[in-house]
């Protein structure tokens, strides 16, 4: 994927811009909801910002460039500051993917109903796709991804912490194995195509 982007400078710039927008919106939403629910930890650590540099995770960005899906730097949370820790933590976790869905929906409606130049439409399509990719991938129930926090409803805190310690290794295995069993790619492609059919009224291949 990276080689394809480098061979087309315009596409590369569009992809990087879209990536920065999607990750920044995603992580900012985590921090904003956490602060609104009573936990200022992310705010104190400079994460309640629209500056993309504060939210980039080196490995997550590399994976996005190399294989087309990745993640941002996890937002720190202190559950002791939350009134309803279990429910509030899930709200915070889902805020990131939900923000990507909202942005993708807005852009999708713009693409569908507002006459724009082909260059502008192509750029908006890239941003929309990246947001959907980030949303879908981060909903996987593997730490440090957002979907893993949903497991806390079903398993004990001790079991989750043990799983969390192995999370990054499990995630790497899943990503590597996806080259042989493209379940993630198939899922993301399904979500992107479903979204474009419903909102944009078009079929697009990702």
DSSP of 49-73: SS-GGGT--HHHHHHHHHHS----P
Confidence grade of residue 76 (pLDDT, cut at 50, 70, 90): very high
User: Does residue 82 lie in a domain region?
Assistant: yes
Q: How many domains does the chain have?
A: 1
Mean pLDDT along residues 164-178 = 86
Task: Give the predicted TM-score (pTM) of the model.
Answer: 0.90
User: Among 27, 89, 158, 164, which one carries the catalytic annotation?
Assistant: 27
d(CA 164, CA 174): 15
User: Does residue 131 lie in a domain region?
Assistant: yes
* 118 a catalytic residue: no
Domain range for 51 is 2-200
User: Does residue 49 lie in a domain region?
Assistant: yes
User: Does residue 42 lie in a domain region?
Assistant: yes
Q: Which two tokens stand for residue 202?
A: 């078009």
User: Does residue 206 lie in a domain region?
Assistant: no
Mean pLDDT along residues 57-75 = 80
């Amino acid at each position: 994927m990276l080689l394809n982007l480098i061979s087309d400078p315009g596409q590369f710039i569009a992809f990087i811009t879209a990536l920065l927008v999607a990750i920044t919106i995603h992580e900012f939403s985590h921090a904003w909801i956490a602060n609104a629910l009573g936990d200022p930890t992310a705010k104190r650590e400079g994460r309640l910002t629209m500056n993309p540099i504060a939210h980039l995770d080196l490995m997550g960005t590399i994976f996005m460039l190399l294989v087309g899906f990745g993640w941002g730097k996890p937002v720190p949370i202190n559950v002791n500051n939350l009134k309803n820790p279990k429910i509030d933590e899930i709200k915070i976790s889902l805020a990131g993917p939900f923000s990507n869905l909202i942005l993708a929906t807005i852009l999708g409606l713009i693409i569908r109903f507002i006459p724009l130049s082909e260059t502008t439409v192509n750029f908006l399509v890239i941003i929309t796709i990246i947001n959907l990719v980030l949303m879908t991938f981060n909903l996987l129930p593997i730490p440090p991804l957002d979907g893993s926090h949903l497991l806390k409803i079903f398993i004990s805190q001790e079991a989750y912490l043990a799983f969390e310690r192995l999370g990054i290794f499990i995630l790497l295995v899943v990503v590597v194995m996806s080259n042989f069993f493209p379940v993630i790619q198939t899922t993301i492609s399904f979500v992107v195509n479903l979204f474009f059919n419903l909102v944009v009224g078009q079929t697009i291949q990702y």
